Amino acid sequence: MSMTRYILQILCPDQKGLIAGTTQVLAKAGANIIDLQQHTAKDIETFFLRAVFDIEADGIPEVKRHLETIAPHLQLNWKLFDTSKTERVAIFVSKTDHCLYDLLLKRRDGDLPCEFSCIVGNHPDLGPVGGSFGVPFYYVPSNPDKTIPENRFREIIEETKTDTIVLARYMQILTAQFTEEFKYRIINIHHGFLPAFKGAKPYHQAWHKGVKIIGATAHFATEDLDQGPIICQDIQRVPETASIDELVELGKDIEKRTLSQALKLWLEHRVFVHAGRTFIL
């Protein structure tokens, strides 16, 4: 029988024997552990574990049964991911294209283990980009009544069997209802190094403060603008003489590499969210 690769995430209060218990569960089911990473956040006495293992299909019910047995005693929160099932990701855009192109190219080159189910734009400008990569484009114009486009988003997500949403410089605010409905399944790129310079025109804010470093932040979208749990950040030093336009151009490289890295971390199931923050293994 062929082997399938799975990823196991475990999150629970820190206590003795967690690693041994986990490896015993996998060993009893006949799994071959390929990689195992763990971390204890001492400040909150919380344990995180990510295990990658190969196993025959008939061994998975046994893994699940063992985990369900020990979960109540250990207060175990666990998730099991079958890596043979490809995550389907929708990209939301406006008019800016650098993040969109970067994601599409990285997927084409095999750097992102996903399928892009669709591109959704509140302007029609980037429609041809989707066509050149074979990704369907949906034009959903913005509306003062945000329930109108968001109801259409739900239809598209269902039609395209989308699992995750990436906001690739989508310049519209989503409602609390929508972000809660897709909680921790919407990844946004903010063209600023959060928590500083939140909101609009962060490069302008940064320039007027005379910053020496600019950055970008990929985070989960929540009802609080630019306040969701942070997945990935990156920075770059800038010359004192740089203009606002030059900061914007420098920032584009940071934005696209930060967003693609955040998506990769998510697709590889390295992101844990606990108590409003992320832990990356």
- pLDDT in the model for residue 195: 66
Can you tell me the mean pLDDT for 55-84? 93
Contact assessment for residue 14 and residue 46, using Cβ atoms and an 8 Å cutoff:
yes
Active site residue 226: yes
Report the DSSP beta bridge partners of residue 54.
5, 32
From the candidates 35, 226, 234, 245, which is the catalytic residue?
A: 226
pLDDT tens figures, 181-235: 999 999 999 987 766 777 788 878 877 777 788 889 999 999 877 788 999 999 9
All structural domains of the chain: 3-82 (3.30.70.260), 87-280 (3.40.50.170)
| Torsion-angle region of 10 (φ positive above 0: left; ψ -120 to 50: alpha; else: beta) | beta
- pLDDT in the model for residue 225: 74
Tokens 């500083």 sit on residue: 196
- pLDDT in the model for residue 57: 87
84: pLDDT confidence band, cut at 50, 70 and 90? very high
Q: What are the contacts of 150-156 at 24+ separation with CB within 8 A?
A: 150/174, 150/175, 150/177, 150/178, 153/120, 153/178, 156/90, 156/118, 156/120
How many angstroms from the chain centroid is the CA of residue 229? Answer: 10
Can you tell me the mean pLDDT for 81-107? 97
To the question of pTM greater than 0.95 for the whole model, the response is no
Strands 77-82 and 3-13: antiparallel
Can you tell me the mean pLDDT for 261-274? 97
* Residue 127 neighbours by CB under 8 Å, 6+ apart: 119, 121, 137, 139
